[in-house]
Amino acid sequence: MFKLSYVELVTGIKAARLSELIKKGVLTGEERDGAMFVDGGSVEKFLMAEGRFIPDVFRTNIIRVLVVDDEPNMLNALKRLFNRFPQIVVTTASNAFEMGHSMRTVMPDIIILDYSMPGMDGLEILENLKADGYLDKVHVIVYTGKLPEEMESVFEEFENVKVLAKSADFKELLLTLEKMVNEKN
């Protein structure tokens, strides 16, 4: 789901026209937290039917990954890793505030979340995501410097959450991401 203002920005179609298309049932949308959101798949179909350019972000075969980590080196490493795969669109955030903004703009399919961050740690972020109903729609990989075995019990109450050690190689991260994408489909 994409915020209506974001769809307007990316496609150039005015918000009033998009709202009209939602009312007519051409686009699928829903109101959340006082803002209107539009389903990316319906935007893709509409743009295709109109013969317009379809930005990658609206393509249904795209995997949207949000990486949240306060370490710039880790953000850059994961961004470089995911940029090797044309079907993955990656967004980064260095704290909970930036993550919140990204969540309100573009709904990711997968969140890769650092556990230890200043301000709000991974557990607090997950509690907020659960309270806001996002954990029903998104999978989370808690990527931590701690041993996964000691972290499993901390996160067992959350659905769609997997814990991986940062010491694990990127292959394990990619395999976990692939498994989560297959579970969503």
* More confident of the two residues 87 and 77: 77
Domain limits, CATH 3.40.50.2300, in the chain: 63-184
Amino acid in the structure at residue 22: I
Q: What is the pLDDT of residues 55-75, one digit of tens each?
A: 877 776 778 899 999 999 999
Helix (H, G, I), strand (E, B) or coil at 75: helix
CA atoms within 13 A on the CB side of 165: 8
* Span 13-23, average pLDDT: 92
Is it the case that residue 93 has pLDDT exceeding 90? yes
70-73 long-range contacts, CB within 8 A, separation 24+? 70/94, 70/95, 70/114, 70/117, 70/118, 71/114
DSSP letter for 147, please: -
Taking only the tens place, the pLDDT of each residue in 76-85 is 999 998 888 8
In angstroms, rounded to a whole number, what is the distance separating the alpha carbons of residues 122 and 68?
Answer: 9
107-149: pLDDT as tens digits: 788 999 998 888 888 888 888 888 888 888 889 988 887 665 6
Residue 45 pLDDT exceeds 70: yes
Q: Is the CATH code 1.10.1660 the one for domain 2-57?
A: yes
Domain with CATH 1.10.1660 in the chain: 2-57
| Residue 104 CB-density burial (10 A; 0-12 exposed, 13-18 middle, 19+ buried) | middle
Q: Judge: domain 63-184, CATH 3.40.50.2300.
A: yes
